[in-house]
A and B are shown apart, each in its own frame.
Chain A
Amino acid sequence: MTRDNIPSIGRRQFLAALGATALASGLIVPASVARAQDAQAAPVKGGVLKLGIGGGSTTDNLDPRILTDWVPVNQAYMLMNGLVEIDAQNNVVPELLESWQPEEGAKVWHLKVRQGVTFHNGKVLNADDVLYSLNLHRGETTSAARSVAAPITALEKTGEYDIKLVLESGNADLPYMLSDYHFLIVPDGWSDFAKPVGTGPFVYESYEPGVRSRFTRNPNYWKPDTAWVDAVEVIVINDISARTNAMMSGQVHAINRLDFKTVDLLKRNKNLSVVQSAGGQHFNFLMDCTQAPFTDQNIRLALKHGINREQLLKTALMGYGSVGNDHPVPKTDRFFAKDLPQRPYDPEKAKFHLKQAGLDSLKVTLAASDAAFGGAVDAAAVYRQNAMAGGIQIDIKREPADGYWDNVWMKAPFCMSYWGGRPTADQMLTAAYFSKSSQNDTHWANPTFDAKLIEARALLDDAKRAEIYAELQQIVSDDGGAIIPMFGDYLDAVSNKLGGVTSHPMFNFMGARLAEKVWLKA
């Protein structure tokens, strides 16, 4: 694998080189392994991997445009590859793109498609396939990644394996942007998404949406030292107790999305390990900055000081996460603002800000539902208790989980929500805080923030970017409409028979690519 054209310096290149060495020596386990003993065990081929995954529906489809839930995303990564991959250290590494090179200003990019890769149907991968696959998400389309692809203003083939990509404005994070799980590569002109053909580690054998699937190993898989098992079976198990039972009785080798409340009980079982991955998933309370009383920054600050983050983390997530500082950039992100002081629980400060706003006490109604996250209603109750000490009365209005995203989210003036995390600070800040974003769920508009966000995006100098992103995090933390008390870890359980499992900053199941990375110990 060539990695010389990665347009970044220092740490990232060093880690990529480190990764290449590890790959060459057959040890694909990155440094931050969840279970140290794996580092010694050599991978073995063979066996049938059985995964119990929650988050699927009988209406699922493997069309890359409409991937929304965990089961189809995991299945899609078994059959197809992306252009790039996010590794266990949150760095972008090549997948079907061999390399990429920006022109000055990061507006025009030259992408090089990997050579010598064939699809399951025998077609050889070239630039046309990549163009077709990316164009699925552009223009008039039902793609859920439409807004991610929107900044791409032109895509053209400049050679059999070369593509020129033009953005509406410079973005140094383009490679990260391409890691979106919707951007999967299918052959040029492919439309039979009930039975997709890709370049992935496994080949379609049988698939019943929302129930089960069985894919067999791709004997011609291009990625070295992956795809160890002969076949992978997915059993869709949406019910958390059914999933846990299947794991405990040994019917499956791994399950995703553990219940925070029962993890400690599950840990007592000696045949399995819990994989804890810190990432960008965070839980929040959203204040609509266009509706009174949240139009006043002092009110927002009062509410931000009135929450006991530590207690919330312990109660709602049983400690499986970390406290948040009212901005959405996680500790795992390379641009995380380390020097920004953590906002404490300070009822006196809350009272002070109420006074600044000309009030002695405040009464607000919070729309709460477990649709936001498991334990959200409990979290609301804790917050209610915390806030009282600061002279704030929070009335909790329980909303049904069904239809929550249609009727409450972005509509109620004060409600609960979550974000699944994005690979870069820029994507996260853009999606939820840029004033023109369709998912600006606090309706917050700050011209300074908007301008600096666009400025930072086009910079190729990481040190300068880090400085601006720290500033942006501070602006969101102090002025923004979201109270972000905690980040929740991704929790999976895996059988001790599995080798090669690591934690991963993007999502459960090693960034949804677990199937190609693990092996069954002999």
Chain B
Amino acid sequence: MSRLILKRLGLGVFTLWLVSVLVFAGTQVLPGDVASAILGQNATPEALDVLRRDLGLNDPLVLRYVTWLKGFATGDLGNSLASGQPVSELIGSRLMNTLMLAAYAAVISVPLAVVLGILVAVFRGSIFDRVMNVLALACVALPEYFLGLLLVLWFSVQLGWLPALADTYPGMGLGEWIKATTLPALTLVLVTMAQMMRMTRTALLGVMDQSYVETAWLKGLRAPRVVLRHALPNAAAPIVNVVAFNIAYLITGVVLVEAVFNYNGLGRFMVDAVAKRDLPLVQASALAFAAAFVLLNMIADIAAIALNPRLRHPR
């Protein structure tokens, strides 16, 4: 088990390195550089020259990558090219914001999805099952920004209950924070719930059709015991997998939601960084996202193994 975890960790680090190379190469392919992005339409060749020299953009590509990697390996994320501030300082609070929003959404979305999934599985074929399925599919089919705008229209503009902007700042109270972030969290809940709910339903139904469950029914056990005690544990692995996948999505896929609600998270930050070709910022944000993805996938895999005796004790 521990060897397996170590192996997965090693692979994770390798993946991250690959991501850093790809991001570096990718930003080089983009037209323009940070100097022309900073100076914009006002750029004159002389000003561009001065700025490029100041920022070290005239060094060869490989040298710049190696310098960055050396710094990264020693825990120095470098400075933003555009503003000169340390990257770690800039990224820390935004990563925290993104994680907090993801956590808020996950706390609602995961239990709700699993419980609803179980219920629709139990009441398979009923009106409840069909209505829930249609609703879930509708939410998935609508893009985040559209759902977000609909929520804003209802809850902010028409009813005036919740703010249209998720305007958060350091030192705000928890109550205020919840009020500010409820609409974006709700949007995320709606878009992620469907997949988890439907996966729970499918996995559970797959198990419920097996003969041992039938035996349990025939033994005269009550429905809660059959479902929760006998069926659910065997359906857990795929559910945990899809939950981990959706939490990863909550962290990495919030860019659009952050834009709609003007939330100060890592996604919006990265969009800015790419627009300015601010390489150290792009690298650090991409790696933060990639790390979240790798880590959550690893947790899912390990959980799947832990939950499955056959994988836990391979012969």
Hey, which bits of chain A sit against chain B, CB under 8 A? 52, 57-61, 66, 68-69, 140-147, 194, 208-212, 235-239, 241-242, 245-246, 248-252, 402-403, 405-407, 409, 438-439
Asked if A235 and B262 sit within 8 Å, CB to CB, the answer is yes
Asked if A61 and B260 sit within 8 Å, CB to CB, the answer is no
CB distance from A353 to the nearest CB of B (A): 31
Counting from the closest, the 3 A-B pairs by CB-CB distance are A403-B31, A59-B82, A144-B42
B45 at the A interface (CB under 8 A): yes
B144 at the A interface (CB under 8 A): no
B259 at the A interface (CB under 8 A): yes
Asked if A405 and B36 sit within 8 Å, CB to CB, the answer is yes
- Complex interface: chain B residues within 8 A of A59 (CB): 38, 80, 82-83, 272-273, 276, 278, 281
Add 13 more A-B contacts to A57-B272, A242-B165 (CB < 8 A): A57-B82, A68-B39, A144-B42, A146-B46, A146-B47, A211-B264, A212-B169, A239-B262, A248-B164, A403-B30, A403-B31, A438-B44, A438-B45
| Chain B stretch 246-303: residues in CB contact (< 8 A) with chain A | 259-262, 264, 268-269, 272-273, 275-276, 278, 281
Asked if A61 and B50 sit within 8 Å, CB to CB, the answer is no
Asked if B273 and A58 sit within 8 Å, CB to CB, the answer is yes
Out of A58, A212, A252, name the residue touching B272 (CB < 8 Å): A58
B306 at the A interface (CB under 8 A): no
- Complex interface: chain B residues within 8 A of A52 (CB): 165
A-B residue pairs in contact (CB < 8 Å), sample of 5: A144-B47, A147-B44, A212-B264, A245-B165, A252-B165
Give Cα A140 to B44, complex, Å: 12
- Complex interface: chain B residues within 8 A of A236 (CB): 262
B152 at the A interface (CB under 8 A): yes
Hey, which bits of chain B sit against chain A, CB under 8 A? 30-32, 36, 38-47, 50-51, 54, 80, 82-85, 90, 149, 152, 156-157, 160, 163-165, 167, 169, 259-262, 264, 268-269, 272-273, 275-276, 278, 281
The chain A residue sitting closest to B171, CB to CB, is A206
Asked if B157 and A245 sit within 8 Å, CB to CB, the answer is yes
CB distance from A376 to the nearest CB of B (A): 15
Give Cα A147 to B45, complex, Å: 11
Asked if B47 and A141 sit within 8 Å, CB to CB, the answer is yes
- Complex interface: chain A residues within 8 A of B43 (CB): 144
- Complex interface: chain A residues within 8 A of B44 (CB): 146-147, 438
- Complex interface: chain B residues within 8 A of A438 (CB): 44-45
A245-B157, A248-B157, A406-B32 known; A58 and B90 CB under 8 Å?
Answer: yes
Asked if A402 and B259 sit within 8 Å, CB to CB, the answer is no
CB distance from B184 to the nearest CB of A (A): 11
Out of A209, A235, A248, name the residue touching B167 (CB < 8 Å): A235
The chain A residue sitting closest to B274, CB to CB, is A402
A59-B83, A194-B85 known; A239 and B272 CB under 8 Å?
Answer: no
Asked if A249 and B90 sit within 8 Å, CB to CB, the answer is no
- Complex interface: chain A residues within 8 A of B278 (CB): 59
Asked if B83 and A209 sit within 8 Å, CB to CB, the answer is yes
- Complex interface: chain B residues within 8 A of A402 (CB): 30-31, 275
Asked if A140 and B50 sit within 8 Å, CB to CB, the answer is yes
A59-B80, A59-B83, A251-B163 known; A142 and B51 CB under 8 Å?
Answer: yes
Give Cα A211 to B272, complex, Å: 11
Give Cα A144 to B169, complex, Å: 32
Main secondary structure of the interface of A (DSSP, over half): loop
Give Cα A211 to B156, complex, Å: 21
CB distance from A518 to the nearest CB of B (A): 21
Give Cα A146 to B49, complex, Å: 13
Asked if A405 and B41 sit within 8 Å, CB to CB, the answer is yes
- Complex interface: chain A residues within 8 A of B46 (CB): 146
CB distance from B169 to the nearest CB of A (A): 6
The chain B residue sitting closest to A244, CB to CB, is B164
The chain B residue sitting closest to A241, CB to CB, is B149
The chain B residue sitting closest to A60, CB to CB, is B83
- Complex interface: chain B residues within 8 A of A211 (CB): 264
Give Cα A142 to B34, complex, Å: 13
- Most chain-A Cβ atoms within 10 A of its Cβ — which of B36, B41, B85, B261? B41
- Complex interface: chain A residues within 8 A of B80 (CB): 59
A58-B90, A242-B165 known; A66 and B39 CB under 8 Å?
Answer: yes
CB distance from B157 to the nearest CB of A (A): 5
Out of B40, B156, B169, B269, name the residue touching A405 (CB < 8 Å): B40
CB distance from A193 to the nearest CB of B (A): 9
Asked if A144 and B259 sit within 8 Å, CB to CB, the answer is no
- Complex interface: chain B residues within 8 A of A245 (CB): 149, 152, 156-157, 164-165
Give Cα A267 to B269, complex, Å: 32
Give Cα A192 to B50, complex, Å: 20
- Complex interface: chain A residues within 8 A of B163 (CB): 249, 251
Asked if B164 and A242 sit within 8 Å, CB to CB, the answer is yes
Give Cα A141 to B51, complex, Å: 8
CB distance from B44 to the nearest CB of A (A): 5
A57-B275, A142-B51, A245-B157 known; A406 and B31 CB under 8 Å?
Answer: yes
Asked if B50 and A141 sit within 8 Å, CB to CB, the answer is yes
CB distance from A271 to the nearest CB of B (A): 11
A68-B40, A242-B262 known; A249 and B167 CB under 8 Å?
Answer: no
Give Cα A438 to B49, complex, Å: 14
- Complex interface: chain B residues within 8 A of A68 (CB): 38-40, 42
Give Cα A209 to B84, complex, Å: 12
- Complex interface: chain B residues within 8 A of A239 (CB): 259-260, 262
Give Cα A252 to B44, complex, Å: 37
Give Cα A142 to B31, complex, Å: 21
CB distance from B285 to the nearest CB of A (A): 10
CB distance from B186 to the nearest CB of A (A): 15
CB distance from B71 to the nearest CB of A (A): 19
- Complex interface: chain A residues within 8 A of B84 (CB): 61
Give Cα A495 to B46, complex, Å: 44
Give Cα A341 to B83, complex, Å: 49
Out of A142, A147, A242, A249, name the residue touching B259 (CB < 8 Å): A242
- Complex interface: chain A residues within 8 A of B32 (CB): 403, 405-407
CB distance from A443 to the nearest CB of B (A): 15
CB distance from A375 to the nearest CB of B (A): 19
CB distance from B264 to the nearest CB of A (A): 5
Asked if A235 and B83 sit within 8 Å, CB to CB, the answer is no
- Complex interface: chain B residues within 8 A of A143 (CB): 47
A68-B40, A142-B50 known; A249 and B156 CB under 8 Å?
Answer: yes
Give Cα A212 to B41, complex, Å: 25
Give Cα A210 to B259, complex, Å: 13
- Most chain-B Cβ atoms within 10 A of its Cβ — which of A209, A249, A252, A405? A249
Give Cα A58 to B80, complex, Å: 10
Out of B40, B149, B269, name the residue touching A144 (CB < 8 Å): B40
- Most chain-A Cβ atoms within 10 A of its Cβ — which of B44, B83, B160? B83
